[in-house]
Structure 1
Amino acid sequence: MDSLIALFEHFAEYGNIISYILVFAVLMLSGFGVPIPEDITLVTAGILASQGYAHGYGIFLVCMAGVLIGDSCMYILGYIYGVKLLRVKFLRKILTAKRIKTIRYRFQDNAILFLFVARFLPGLRAAIYLFSGITRKVSYTKFILIDFFASIISVPVWVSLGYFFGNNLEHLKHLVSKIGLGFTVAAVIGFILIFVFIKIRIRKREKSLSDSVNKEQDEELYLHAKNHSGEIKKKQKVKSTTK
């Protein structure tokens, strides 16, 4: 965190516009799955604003743009190129076979909720957004709206932390750690609830299908029994006529 802040402050001395460009570029890279913590970047952006290297509202808008465009790039890549992307070595590291299996299993019927929760999980976020583009289960309009509403929760929190507590780095680190943990725990709980919800829906669907199959089988047995009974009556009638 200290080194990232020092790097940003060094380049920010060349002018406010550099601060905006740097923050935007780093957030874009983070959106592509590059291992640069998004939360630390947003906190650093808040610190830059508090020190006069950028305007508060301006840096917030740049942060939102960087986050949304970075996430959109992953979705659009998946949407345009599909499974061909898995041939790229770098993307294979992000979207591993294990992650694909995990995401696909949970993504089927709860894509919107899944995407919202994913915004708070740095390790899986890029993979989920890429996968959502590949599957095309969610339109880009829905995707960007979901991402916006999730980002409008997290981005102001991180930027505000940097802006108001940037003068005390030790205390700031403690707050970042606690709030980051809170977001992660909330996201994990969200995933568990989604998983339970999916399980319940699958069981209901299986039960409904089973009941439907049983009903069809009962109808077939009834018709078969009815036809068989009719044949017996016909045979008996023929015998009585012959006599």
Structure 2
Amino acid sequence: MELLERLVTLFAENGYLAVFIALLLCGAGAPLPEDITLVAGGVITGLGYGNVHVMFGVGMAGVLVGDAGMFLLGHHYGARIRQWRLVARVLTPERYAKVQEKFERYGNRLMFIARFLPGMRTAVFITAGSTHRVSFLRFFLLDGSAALISVPIWVYLGYFGANNHEWLAMWIRRGQNGLWLFGGLVVLVVLLLWWRHRRRVACETGPR
């Protein structure tokens, strides 16, 4: 909670712009948890330093612009971007291999799943852009759909828990576990639908 308190102080003094910039840094792979940043944005609105609905919009904008920036950098510079010093710290050879394995397993659906994979999100988006595995529009729709789930949860959690730190800390832990569970359920549903589609196609194109 120490980081949360620091962010609350920073955001209360500097407003929406500070939240937006912090989320851009999250998207760029800075060691700053996106969920805690969004919660802090919600907390300051609960303390009267802003409007929670505006903060939700700022949160969505910061998350999507940050993610899109990483995707477009990868798309523009291709494999060369992995040679950049700052990118190399985020996208290590081991992490790149892990992302490639997940692409082979989940395909473009990984763009949605990545929002629920802390520590992997930036690497996934850079890799997706550099390998041209997915169009920007498809990436934006998948990432945006996932953000519409995670962003309001954290922002409004911070808003409702602004004056009760113990309650807030408890629900942050539950929210983190819940999002992991939700992400896992989404993956299972997607895989089930994909398997049923493949089975139906196989039946339709099989020997008659």
Cα distance in 1, alignment partners of residues 190 and 89 from structure 2: 25
Cα distance in 1, alignment partners of residues 162 and 18 from structure 2: 18
- Alignment correspondent of 1:135: 131
1:3-36, Cα deviation, whole Å (9 max, x unpaired): 44344335524xxxx3101100100000001010
Identity %: 38
From 18, 24, 30, the equivalent of 2:26 is: 30
Conservation of the 8 A alpha-carbon contact between 2:82 and 2:88: yes
Q: 5+ unaligned residues in a row in structure 1: which ranges? A: 205-243
Q: TM-score, normalised by structure 1?
A: 0.73
- Alignment correspondent of 1:45: 41
Q: TM-score, normalised by structure 2?
A: 0.85
Cα distance in 2, alignment partners of residues 194 and 101 from structure 1: 23
With over 3 angstroms needed to count, the CA separation of the structure-2 counterparts of 1:93 and 1:3, relative to structure 1, is: closer
Bigger Cα Rg: 1
Does residue 58 in structure 1 map to residue 80 in structure 2? no
Cα distance in 1, alignment partners of residues 54 and 192 from structure 2: 41
1:189-243, Cα deviation, whole Å (9 max, x unpaired): 6567878999x8xxx9xxxxxxxxxxxxxxxxxxxxxxxxxxxxxxxxxxxxxxx
User: Over aligned residue pairs, what C-alpha RMSD do you find?
Assistant: 2.6
Conservation of the 8 A alpha-carbon contact between 1:8 and 1:22: no
Cα distance in 2, alignment partners of residues 11 and 185 from structure 1: 30
Cα distance in 1, alignment partners of residues 179 and 29 from structure 2: 19
CA apart distance, 1:186:
3.6
Provide runs of 4+ in structure 1 moved above 6 Å: 192-198
CA apart distance, 1:184:
2.1
Paired amino acid for 2:164: N
Cα distance in 2, alignment partners of residues 59 and 186 from structure 1: 24
With over 3 angstroms needed to count, the CA separation of the structure-2 counterparts of 1:165 and 1:131, relative to structure 1, is: same
